[in-house]
């Protein structure tokens, strides 16, 4: 029994000596600095340290953090060897933190670096890394504003034929002749989604025509806020046409926020009310084919439009007309012929010409071994 105890003590001493020897061989991470992360909202601090030599025996790093007078505590997972930076995103704004980096060997021996000076996370008003993007946006914005002024000066702006939009009057006329309603769905988008905003502008134009013809316009909504805004859009359209008496608030209604409950509800409305024309304009997801197929099965004339590239094939397959991607955004200018929208459309075309030129020039330059266009595009991103 005494022998076993003696052997155990000897083994423990040996282990301790080996681990101490190894830990003495490890060098602590050098030049550890902690600075407030640039261009953020003050919610992170960035740590940097020098890379250790390959034969240093370091198998990973553990970050240690201390708040005010507290003790150092481990944060995050063990970082792999070779790491030289760490972003601590779990800080509280306004609190000062000091850090140390612990080098860990394969035998789990450890050695800590010196502690950094305490650092606070502070937010920046301007993201300097986005200046190139900001400049590009200003350029595009200037082109669009110039074109809007051009359109407002009374000069005629040509807009090419968009078959899906020429069918709008046909669809409304058909519904009026048949004495049936028109169903307009804006899809699943929120009020701040660009396709929903574009769809509301088209809805305004459709509502003007339905006000004239006294054709019932039914708008089932998925989002309560969208519903409120849509009611305003439709009401304003009816007022502008001098037909507030025809406007019925109940025709713009909420169904459900759940994607498939909404689809089931709209399908039910299609089957029971049998609208003569269906507009599917906005942001759609997996429910697109369910809606378009049901509309097709009741024989309604369907005009769809979305920028969701995965849903466009279904609309093309099941609807009479489909507005593809940007055609949805061009629709409002096409239908209303308002100088501001027409000018904006022309400005966007100029932007496309700029992209076209950049692309062709970029290809020629890349083939000649000059890569400043790709470098510039990289900077913008």
Partner 1 sequence: MEIFGIWLAAFLTLSIYSFLYRDNPFYRFAEYLFIGISVGYYIVIYIHQGFIPFAWEPFWAAVKPFWPGIPREAGWIGLIKLIPIALGLLFFGGLSPRHTWLIRYPSAVLVGFGSGISIPLMLQTFIFEQTRGTVEPFAAINAGTLSPWGIIEAVLMLIGVACTLTYFFFSVEHRGPVKWLSKVGIAFLMIGFGAAFGNTVMGRVALLIQRVDFLLNDWIGMIIGWLGTIF
CB of 287 to partner 1, least distance (A): 12
| Minimum separation from the CB atom of position 29 to partner 1 (A) | 35
Beta strands in the chain, from DSSP E residues, in sequence order = 33-36, 45-48, 58-67, 73-80, 85-88, 96-105, 110-112, 119-120, 182-187, 217-221, 252-254, 277-283, 301-306, 321-324
Q: Which is nearer to partner 1, 118 or 265 (CB)?
A: 265
Q: Measured from the CB atom, is 37 or 308 closer to partner 1?
A: 308
Smallest separation, CB 236 to partner 1 (Å): 10
**The token pair that represents 249 in the structure block:** 């608030």
Q: How far is the CB of 265 from partner 1 (least distance, A)?
A: 5
Task: Locate the DSSP E strands across 213-364.
Answer: 217-221, 252-254, 277-283, 301-306, 321-324
71 versus 309: smaller Cβ distance to partner 1: 309
Q: Which two tokens stand for residue 67?
A: 């708040």
Nearer to partner 1 among residue 46 and residue 147 (C-beta): 147
8 A C-beta contact, residue 186 and residue 200: yes
* Calpha distance 242→249 (Å, rounded): 16
- CB-wise, 17 or 248, nearer to partner 1? 248
Question: How far is Cα 218 from Cα 300, in angstroms, rounded to an integer?
Answer: 14
**Closer Cβ to partner 1, 13 or 194, answer by number:** 194
Q: At closest approach, how far in Å is the CB of 196 from partner 1?
A: 9
Among all chains, which residue has been given the structure tokens 């709209």? 266
**Integer distance in angstroms from the first to the last C-alpha of the chain?**
72
Distance CA 87, CA 89 (A): 6
- Output the smallest distance, CB 260 to partner 1, in A: 7
């Amino acid at each position: 029994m005494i022998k076993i105890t003696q052997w155990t003590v000897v083994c423990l001493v040996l282990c301790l000596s080996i681990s101490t020897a190894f830990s003495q061989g490890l060098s602590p991470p050098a030049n550890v600095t902690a600075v407030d992360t640039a261009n953020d909202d003050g919610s992170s601090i960035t740590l940097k340290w020098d890379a250790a030599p390959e034969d240093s025996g370091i198998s990973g790093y553990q970050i240690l953090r201390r708040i005010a007078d507290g003790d150092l505590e481990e944060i995050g997972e063990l970082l792999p060897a070779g790491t030289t930076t760490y972003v601590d995103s779990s800080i509280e704004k306004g609190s000062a933190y000091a850090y140390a980096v612990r080098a860990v060997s394969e035998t789990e021996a450890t050695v800590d670096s010196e502690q950094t000076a305490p650092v606070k996370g502070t937010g920046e008003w301007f993201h300097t890394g986005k200046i190139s993007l900001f400049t590009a946006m200003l350029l595009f914005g200037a082109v669009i504003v110039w074109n809007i002024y051009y359109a407002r000066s009374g000069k005629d702006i040509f807009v090419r034929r968009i078959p899906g939009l020429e069918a709008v009057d046909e669809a409304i006329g058909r519904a009026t002749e048949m004495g049936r309603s028109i169903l307009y769905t804006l899809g699943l988008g929120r009020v701040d989604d660009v396709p929903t905003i574009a769809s509301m502008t088209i809805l305004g134009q459709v509502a003007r025509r339905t006000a004239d013809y006294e054709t019932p316009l039914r708008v089932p909504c998925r989002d309560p806020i969208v519903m409120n805004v849509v009611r305003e859009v439709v009401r304003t359209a009816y007022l502008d046409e001098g037909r507030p008496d025809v406007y019925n608030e109940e025709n713009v209604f909420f169904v459900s926020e759940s994607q498939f409950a909404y689809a089931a509800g709209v399908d039910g409305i299609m089957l029971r009310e049998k609208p003569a024309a269906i507009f599917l304009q906005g942001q759609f997801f997996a429910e697109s084919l369910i809606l378009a197929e049901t509309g097709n099965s009741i024989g309604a004339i369907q005009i769809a439009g979305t920028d969701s590239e995965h849903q466009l094939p279904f609309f093309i397959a099941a609807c009479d007309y489909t507005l593809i991607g940007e055609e949805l955004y061009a629709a409002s200018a096409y239908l209303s012929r308002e100088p501001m929208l027409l000018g904006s459309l022309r400005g966007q075309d100029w932007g496309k010409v700029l992209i076209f030129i950049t692309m062709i020039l970029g290809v020629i330059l890349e083939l000649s071994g000059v890569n400043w266009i790709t470098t510039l595009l990289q900077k913008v991103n």
